[in-house]
Amino acid sequence: MRRAFASLILSATALAALATPAAAQLEPGRVVRVQVGYTGGSFDAIGRIVAEGLRERLGLNAIVENKPGAGGSIASDYVAKATNDGTVILIGGAGTHGVTPALRRNLPFDAARDFTAIARVGEFPNAMTVSAALPVRTVQQFIALARRPGGVNFGSSGTGTSIHLTGELFRLRTGLEMTHVPYRGSGPAVLDLQADRIQVIFDNLPNVFGGIQGGTLRALAVTSRERLPNLPDVPTMAEAGMPDFVVSSWVGVFGPAGMNPRTVEQLSAAIMDTVRTEPGRTRVANLGAQPSPAGAAEFDAMWRADMRRWAEVVQAAKVEVDD
């Protein structure tokens, strides 16, 4: 009798052990709320690609919720404080989870502590771009020109953006005299670049690609690891003589801290498959991004390295913004 009872206990324990991993899985029909810190734009579009992928691959009732404001920090804070069972996730990027934590000290969350990296979706490479009228065709020629008395001006879509900090990184690496000129968005900066009021910008490729194609702008280099298919003749920064100068405005999916690894694995696999296969890959590429799916471990390492790098640039360049 005792032996039978002990056997029953062992069987129940084994079943419980087998059930534990399954319990960490999100079951079909569960509602998953994909938080986006902006209304419209690439983050919103990627959020909808992710939600559709989760619906198709896992049978989840994935919906997109927009919580705009404070440069994406309202949505980030909401997710940081949400339940960590995988039913609330966030579309985050280099700005919200790399640059913003490096710049702002009064955030209502700790970016390094309060999030779980789930998967990277894509990257928006930057292009070092000048006016086509500027008499330079290479990065080294630009550096030689910029050594003139008074230096040069570089523009950005605003103080504290990844575009701004990429320019600061270039200034620090070259030791050039470069004055930052912030704008309210890329559009006005590109217009002043064409008019030679500023001499260079390190902008996301979609913002300058039209001018490059149209012949009013010239790309001297791209900040990706490899050359881009749509700009095959433009060298990388490394090829142009700037080693270890790789910058991209990446976009990925985060959850709250402390998520069950099996839930992370489940979501990560579905998101990566969405980006690797059609039509997800094409939809991401049509946003001007490079589809670059990465799992949780790779994404986590990349994101944290990016956050450390921007913190070093902010400190070295003495960049300040109003909290």
The string of pLDDT tens digits covering residues 137-149 is 999 999 999 999 9
* Residues 104 and 323: beta-carbon distance below 8 Å: yes
Q: Regarding the domain with residue range 27-124+248-317, which homologous superfamily does it belong to in the CATH classification?
A: Bordetella uptake gene, domain 1 (3.40.190.150)
Same CATH topology for 27-124+248-317 and 126-222: the answer is yes
* Residues 24 and 30: beta-carbon distance below 8 Å: no
pLDDT-based confidence at 323, cuts 50/70/90? low
The residues spanned by each domain of the chain are 27-124+248-317, 126-222
Asked if pLDDT for residue 214 goes beyond 50, the answer is yes
Asked if pLDDT for residue 263 goes beyond 70, the answer is yes
Report whether the peptide linkage leading into residue 291 is cis, meaning its omega lies within 30 degrees of zero: no
Predicted confidence at residue 23, as pLDDT, reads 59
Q: How far apart are CA 40 and CA 20, in angstroms?
A: 39
Measure Cα distances from 164 to 198, 207, 247, 270 in Å.
Answer: 13, 14, 12, 34
- β strands within 58-163, DSSP E: 61-66, 88-93, 115-131, 152-156
Predicted confidence at residue 118, as pLDDT, reads 98
Pick the CATH number of 126-222 from 3.40.190.10, 3.50.50.60, 3.40.718.10, 3.30.9.10: 3.40.190.10
Tokens at 38, concatenated: 């902006």
Q: How far apart are CA 226 and CA 173, in angstroms?
A: 20
* 30-83 tens-digit pLDDT: 999 999 999 988 999 999 999 999 999 999 999 999 999 888 999 999 999 999
Measure Cα distances from 176 to 154, 180, 219, 319, 323 in Å.
Answer: 11, 12, 19, 17, 29
Alpha helix positions (H), the chain? 2-23, 41-58, 73-80, 94, 100-103, 139-146, 162-174, 186-194, 205-214, 261-276, 280-285, 296-317
